[in-house]
Amino acid sequence: MNKQTKIDFIDLVHSIISNFIDENYGDIKSISSVPDPDTLSKEIDFTLGNKHSLDQMKGFIHQYLDYSIKTGNIHFYNQLFSGFSTLGYTGDAIVAATNASMYTYEMSPVATLMENELIKKMCQLIGYDNGGGTFVTGGSNGNFLALLAARHKQNPDSKIEGLFNQRRLVGFVSKDSHYSMLKAANQSGIGLNNIIQIPVDSDGKMRLDYLESNIEKVKSKDDIPFFVAATAGTTVRGAYDSINEIGDLCEYHNIWLHIDGSWGGGVLFSSKHQHLMSGLEKSDSFTWCAHKILGVPIICSMTMLKDKTILKTINEVSGTDYLFHDDGHMDLGRLSLQCGRRVDVLKLWLFWKYYGDSDLEKQIDRLFDLASYAKKKVVDSPILGLVPPVEFLNICFQIKPKNIPDENLNSFNILVRNQLIKEKGIMVNYAKIGENTCIRLITTNLDLQKTHIDLFFESLHAVVDELLS
């Protein structure tokens, strides 16, 4: 492919993408239904081996976009992310064009300084006076990195000798914590049976009395309680664990405290709402995903640590002299679980540079206002039952018409949700809270307005009426 052909094709693809954004994002109701695998396999030739022309490749690109879920659409409420970021998209395009890697300053000089500044800024917001951190491939890996750091602090020899013939290390998470905490136990060698899941109260917060009693029980067996993960914004309910009190407990027992703020960590930008993470400075590590509440393109996640030296300690091994040629003080690959690492910082740096602290705060506060507005819609409806509390941007409720028996409510809620996608082009998720299946509405799209919330509930009620008629 010669240079001019490359440029012409890239221009064509940019035009296709621009049209896709124009036709599918914003107020337009065009969330795709999820095609079944058999139908999709018949529509698209997924086989590899034969050569194809650029014109045929253009067709494949159109098919990919046609069948994609329109996550930038205003009516996409399905996940903890939504919306389209112009500057985020721009950053991703530049990163793909430059195709650098974050392992050395030599390869990414500008991005290295960007990342250092951004991590420094995040540590200031958290309250880590001399902290450090790194970008990671999602909140799950951020949680794993925190557990690995805690393991190393408790047992530095484990890096060389492993965990064989050692006192048992035990960690604690809430029952509503993200499943990645259990995966991290497996990945780090701690083991699933050595992570105790602490019950939550009626608001979805970790029970402090159960946490304390379980810590004492572990110590009585001469095992080592080494790690507690509190959640700032649980996946389903958006609940915030009591970080201040948990921090005091961890300090008393000399236990590493990690905060999984993958979802709810964005309240750091709001002076009005950052009280939800009161005591955050008592933690040892913190994970946050900017691709969620800020709408920056996936993936844009980072983990910050109070002790900035520990990342280098746990990640450095021999055999890297081919890559790191100086003392490494600017080579971020020394701090990373990965070798090759995408330049995820650029899209967030551009986004933050454009909006500044003040506008980011206004955006977060406005999303909270929308959540309150949606909550009132639920409370005022005769057929909807709120699952409290609404502490963050998660509005969980159950559809409960009087003529639907209690034993059929779970399946009815799923049916309504699926019909919303199929008939109204609105995608919202559902989840289990206790034994009840609930609708989980997320107000995280930065372009969302009250009129869109109105339309959501009008559409939901219309679907219910159709199903009951």
Region label for 434, one of left (φ > 0), alpha (ψ between -120 and 50) or beta (otherwise): left
- Cα(353)–Cα(138) distance, integer angstroms: 22
Nearest to 364 by CA among 406, 334, 393, 399: 393
Helices 180-187 & 139-154, crossing angle to 10 degrees? 50
CA pseudo-torsion sign 324, 327, 331, 337:
positive
- Percentage of the chain exceeding pLDDT 90: 94
Assess whether pLDDT exceeds 90 at residue 27. no
pLDDT band at 328 (very low <50, low <70, confident <90, very high): low
The answer to whether the beta carbons of residues 204 and 237 sit under 8 Å apart is yes
- Percentage of the chain exceeding pLDDT 70: 99
Could you tell me the two tokens for 46?
Answer: 């997924």
Region label for 239, one of left (φ > 0), alpha (ψ between -120 and 50) or beta (otherwise): beta
Residue 417 has what pLDDT?
97
Q: Which domains does the chain have, with CATH numbers?
A: 1-34+69-82+358-469 (3.90.1150.170), 101-342 (3.40.640.10)
- Cα(154)–Cα(227) distance, integer angstroms: 9
Residue 462 has what pLDDT?
97
Could you tell me the two tokens for 149?
Answer: 């750091």
pLDDT band at 25 (very low <50, low <70, confident <90, very high): confident
The per-residue pLDDT for range 334-361, each reduced to its tens digit, is 999 999 999 999 999 999 999 999 999 9
The per-residue pLDDT for range 403-460, each reduced to its tens digit, is 999 999 999 999 999 999 999 999 999 999 999 999 999 999 999 999 999 999 999 9
| Amino acid found at 260 | D
The answer to whether the beta carbons of residues 136 and 142 sit under 8 Å apart is yes
